[in-house]
Amino acid sequence: MELLRPDSAEAAAAALGNGSVALAGGTELVPLLRDGIVRAEKLVELRDVVPRGVDGTRIGAGTTLAELEVDPDIPQALREACSLAASPQLRSMSTLGGNLLQATRCWYWRLNFPCYLHGGDTCHAKAGQHREHAIFGNERCASAHPSDPAAALLALGARLRTTSREFSLVDLYRLPTDEERNVTALEPGEVILELDVPRPEASVYLKAMERRKWSFAIVGVAAARFADSIRLGLAGVAPIPWALSSVADLEQATPLLGTAYKVQIARALVRRAVEAVSAPAGA
């Protein structure tokens, strides 16, 4: 393997593809390289070329989750999502951009079963162990997307700026299809540089976990209120971060036998999150 240290984001983007893989915090990539799930001839180091830090509503994609969890200037939902994500060391290492691009924790995927997401034709989780899996968008693949910040940013209506374009975070994700198993829509040779995160009147992130810290979401619920409208983003419930337009959307859930309990948890957390961000009565 080779390590490239480009001197600009554009140079980094240009170096990607053809066996070259972007390396930021490394918390996701390094283990996947060792497992042979990702193969790379060259690693393109982004640390010095992707913006880092918070400037108004703009957040550099190279900012670490540890930096964000203590930043008073970002919306509460994002701060809480970062604070509840992963472990302290992982938060110190991992960047916001990398976090958005992380893969599922589905054990079948991580153990390299020839599953739908790996290009196969079956979802092993559906007929197997799937207690941590999806309740939405799970027709072909029942994996759950683990990103807490993505749920928060979805509720906050964040937009991304990459080396080639600007677009809404919603459009970064897509459910896997027979044609395209990758759940993120980043082009080869495209690097996330920055996020624009609107300031809500109120926002919150609630997370149900298996243990009190250092656990991926069973269900994570972000709510953000802008004027009279409340937007919701969920983690751990679908192969991609999942937006809900209202509590009632939960009735559309398609849980598996072993994930029905998640609907009940989501119902409680969504109700609590909505209450938490709702304008005080009479205000």
Partner 1 sequence: MVVELTINGNAYELEAPVGRTLAEVLRLDLGLTGTKIACGEGHCGACTVQLDGVPVLSCITLVHTVGDREVTTIEGLREHPLVEAFVEADATQCGFCTPGQIVTASALLAANASPSDDEIRHAMAGNLCRCGTYPKIERAIHTVAGDGGGS
Partner 2 sequence: MARLIKTEKEVEGRYSEQWVVVEEDALEQWPEGPLRTVGRPATRVDGLARARGEARYTQDIQLPGMLHAAVLRSPHARARVKQIDLTPASELAGVRGAVGPGELDVLTDEPNYEGEAVAAVVADTADHARAALEEISIEWEVLEPLLDVDQALARESFLSDPKLYERGDIERGFAEADVVVEAEYRTQSVLHNALETHQTICEWEGETVNVYTSTQWLWGVRDEVAAAFDLPKDKVRVICRFMGGGFGAKGSAGDYTMIAAELARRTGRPVHCRLDRREENVNSGNRNPTIQKLRLGARSDGILTALSADYVCLLGWDGWLPPTAGPVQMLYACDNVRTVEYGVRLNSPPMDAFRAPGFVEGTFGLECALDELAAKLDLDPLELRRRNHADHDPLDERPFSGKQLMECYRRAEPHWERRHEVHARADGPWKHGVGIATQLWYGGGGPPSYAWVRLAGDGTATVLTAMQDIGTGTRTAMAQIAAEELGLPVERVTVELGDTAHGPYAVVSGGSSTTPSMGPAVRAAAGDVARQIREIAAQRFDVEERVLSLAEGKVINADGGSWLLEEITGLLEDGQILGKGARGPNPAGMRVMTYGIQVAEVAVDVETGEVVVERIYAVHDIGRVINPLGAESQIEGGIIQAIGHSLSEQRLLDPRSGKVLTRTLDAYKLPTIADVPEIVSELVDVPDAHLTNLGSKGLGEPPIVPTAAAIANAIRDATGADVRSLPITREEMLGALHEADERRRVPERVGAAPA
User: Is residue 156 a contact partner of residue 223, using CB atoms and an 8 Å limit?
Assistant: no
Query: What is the separation of C-alpha 74 from the centre of its chain, rounded to a whole number of angstroms?
Result: 17
Q: Which of 32, 31, 34, 87 is nearest to 64 (CA)?
A: 87
Binds 89, which of partner 1, partner 2, none (CB < 5 to 8 A, cut-off by type)?
partner 1
Phi, psi of 45 (to 5 degrees): -80, 125
- DSSP, collapsed to helix, strand or coil, labels residue 143 as coil
Q: Which stretch binds partner 1 (CB under 8 A): 24-32, 97-105, 125-133, 266-274?
A: 24-32
Q: For the segment 188-217, give every residue that binds partner 1 (CB under 8 A).
A: 212-214
The one among 26, 128, 189, 258 contacting partner 1 by CB under 8 A: 26
Is 111 among the residues that bind partner 2 (CB under 8 A)?
A: yes
Q: Which of 1, 127, 185, 279 binds partner 1 (CB under 8 A)?
A: 1
Counting contacts by CB under 8 A, is residue 19 touching partner 1? no
CB of 224 to partner 1, least distance (A): 24
Asked if residue 149 lies in contact with residue 59, where contact means CB atoms within 8 angstroms, the answer is no
Buried b or exposed e, range 250-275, using 16+ CB within 10 angstroms: beebebbebbeebbebbbebbeebbe
DSSP-based three-state secondary structure for 189: coil
Binding site for partner 2 (CB under 8 A): 105, 107-108, 110-111, 124, 127-129, 131, 208, 210-216, 218, 258, 260-261, 264-265, 268-269
Binding site for partner 1 (CB under 8 A): 1-3, 23, 26-27, 30-31, 33-34, 43, 45, 47, 66, 83, 86-90, 92-93, 212-214
